[in-house]
Structure 1
Amino acid sequence: MDYLLTLVTDPAAWAALLTLVVMEVVLGIDNLIFISILSNKLPEAQRARTQRIGIMLALVLRLALLGTVAWIAQLTQPALTLFGHGFSWRDLILLGGGLFLVWKATREMHHHVAPADEAQGAAGKVVQMTAWAAISQILVLDIVFSVDSIITAVGMTEHVPIMFVAVIAAVMAMLFAAHPLSRFIDRNPTIVMLALSFLLVIGMALIAEGFGSHIPKAYIYAAMAFSAFVEAMNMLARRAHAKRAAVAKQ
């Protein structure tokens, strides 16, 4: 109890908490985009429930991993050597998650650009996806993002209570943002391709990190933010053009 009271009255602990919450929210954007895209492939009545289950699974995984912080810290130690390069368990998890994300994003891109007859055939396959099939795919990515998130938290602070509060706050933010983001993506088809390209970039970044090549996340998120800004300008331009066309017809 004295330890917790000390943290509550320590300005440095509050600064660490705020920084970690922001970092966890930013890291959670990747996970949230994937959940939104995947849940939009389900019937509308199942989407909100699937999103909540996927996000709550992410919370459970993160909290469970936080309970084994010492074990998580060891994931960065070399566990396998191939061709003279040492791979840790974290590297292998990132490689597996990155390959899965690249495969999934590429597959979804192909579905969206396929010819009409081929897309109709693919659409039949999409309808067959069940909520639990979607949740199982979400769970795979939850594991990857959870490990990366917890290792980031361990590197930023040594206080486990701060990590717990930051993770809970970030996941709650994801829970509130999931439905609006999902509806926005569903209503704007061009956003789907942009979001898939984000997932493709993130997947490649995970693969690169798995091979030991660190790519500063600030560069990735800056590029994503710029792309989102350009797409927002395009959306505004299309709406203005549609309004002018409607006025001209009158």
Structure 2
Amino acid sequence: MESKLDGFLLLMQDPAVWAALATLVVMEIVLGIDNLIFISILTNKLPEESREKARRIGIGLALVMRLGLLATIAWIVKLTTPVVTLLGAELSWKDMILIAGGLFLVWKATKEIHHHVDPAEEADGTASKVVTGFGAAIIQILVLDLVFSIDSIITAVGMTPHVEIMVIAVIAAVSTMLFAASPLARFIERNPTIVMLALAFLLLIGTTLIAEGFGAHVPKGYIYAAMAFSAAVEILNMVARNARLKKASSAH
């Protein structure tokens, strides 16, 4: 135990290790934005008293799952070996997981967009929906986190061979998610137009996952730049709307 600790302390004296750690933490947090948007939209559909609990349980279990995946890192790396050919593309288990996750995101986002466009369908069975909704929300959070975890861990392996550094990066990123989940969810709930934008982001991310699963690499910088630009435009719209409302209320 002592020799492991000494080895870790020696490892942390290397500036290159600190650089890799900082890069990994930033990457994990950025990749976690997708997850946070999904968690916020999903938990906002639960009764108010259950939302915080669902976020904490979902993100807490996601941390346990990510650490468990890191313990099987040798197996995860093998997931990149092609196992089947579909539509002329050689697919590995990683590719198939990305495609399945992408399809799930596209289906979920499309369903939520339909619900927001035509909310008239919400009618009966509120109580039973609440009971099954809580468990379903946790399961869906974990399913999506599994997809993003495998992708980010395989990317992390290419950046550092040290599992200890990956563990620290994952803990830091998930802690940030835990801290940011509730404020983001409240912000989305207070601003209905943001919900539609967030669902559009999920559609974009889902489509990207499917494309990557079939071997079409889409640089993530482009995706996040587009998301940041759209979010900035929507924030300007919100500021303009609030200014108009204040002006109208002061006129009365």
TM-score class, shorter-chain normalisation, is over 0.9
Q: Gapped runs of 5+ residues in structure 1?
A: none
One-letter identity of the residue aligned with 2:68: A
Structure-to-structure mapping, 1:89-104, within 5 angstroms: 89-104=93-108
8 Å Cα contact 1:17/1:162 also seen in 2? yes
The match for 2:174 is 171
1:110 aligns with 2:153: no
How high is the sequence identity, in percent, across the aligned residues?
A: 67
TM-score by length of 1: 0.95
One-letter identity of the residue aligned with 1:222: A
1:12 aligns with 2:16: yes
Residue 122 of structure 1 and its aligned partner are, at CA, apart by 8.1
8 Å Cα contact 1:42/1:129 also seen in 2? no
Q: In structure 1, the residue corresponding to 2:123 is in which secondary structure? A: helix
One-letter identity of the residue aligned with 2:249: A
In 2, the alpha carbon distance for the partners of 1:107 and 1:43 equals: 20
TM-score by length of 2: 0.94
Structure 1, residues 87-111: CA drift from partner, whole Å, max 9, x if none? 0000000000000000000000000
1:214 aligns with 2:217: yes
1:41 aligns with 2:45: yes
Structure 1, residues 194-230: CA drift from partner, whole Å, max 9, x if none? 1000000000000000100010000000000000000
The match for 1:61 is 65
The match for 2:185 is 182
Name which of structure 1's ranges 61-70 and 233-242 shifts more when overlaid on structure 2.
61-70
Two-structure CA RMSD over aligned residues (Å)? 1.5
1:28 aligns with 2:38: no
Q: In structure 2, the residue corresponding to 1:121 is in which secondary structure? A: coil
The match for 1:233 among 207, 211, 236 is 236
In 1, the alpha carbon distance for the partners of 2:199 and 2:129 equals: 16
Name which of structure 1's ranges 81-90 and 220-229 shifts more when overlaid on structure 2.
81-90
1:193 aligns with 2:196: yes
Residue 83 of structure 1 and its aligned partner are, at CA, apart by 3.9
One-letter identity of the residue aligned with 2:66: R
Structure-to-structure mapping, 1:74-93, within 5 angstroms: 74-93=78-97
In 2, the alpha carbon distance for the partners of 1:208 and 1:66 equals: 25
Report how many residues are paired: 247
In 2, the alpha carbon distance for the partners of 1:169 and 1:59 equals: 10
Structure-to-structure mapping, 1:109-188, within 5 angstroms: 109-114=113-118, 118-121=120-123, 124=126, 127=130, 129-188=132-191
In 1, the alpha carbon distance for the partners of 2:240 and 2:121 equals: 28
8 Å Cα contact 1:111/1:122 also seen in 2? no
Residue 119 of structure 1 and its aligned partner are, at CA, apart by 3.9
In 1, the alpha carbon distance for the partners of 2:106 and 2:215 equals: 18
Cα distance 1:75–1:110, how it changes in 2: closer, same or farther (>3 A)? same
Q: Gapped runs of 5+ residues in structure 2?
A: none
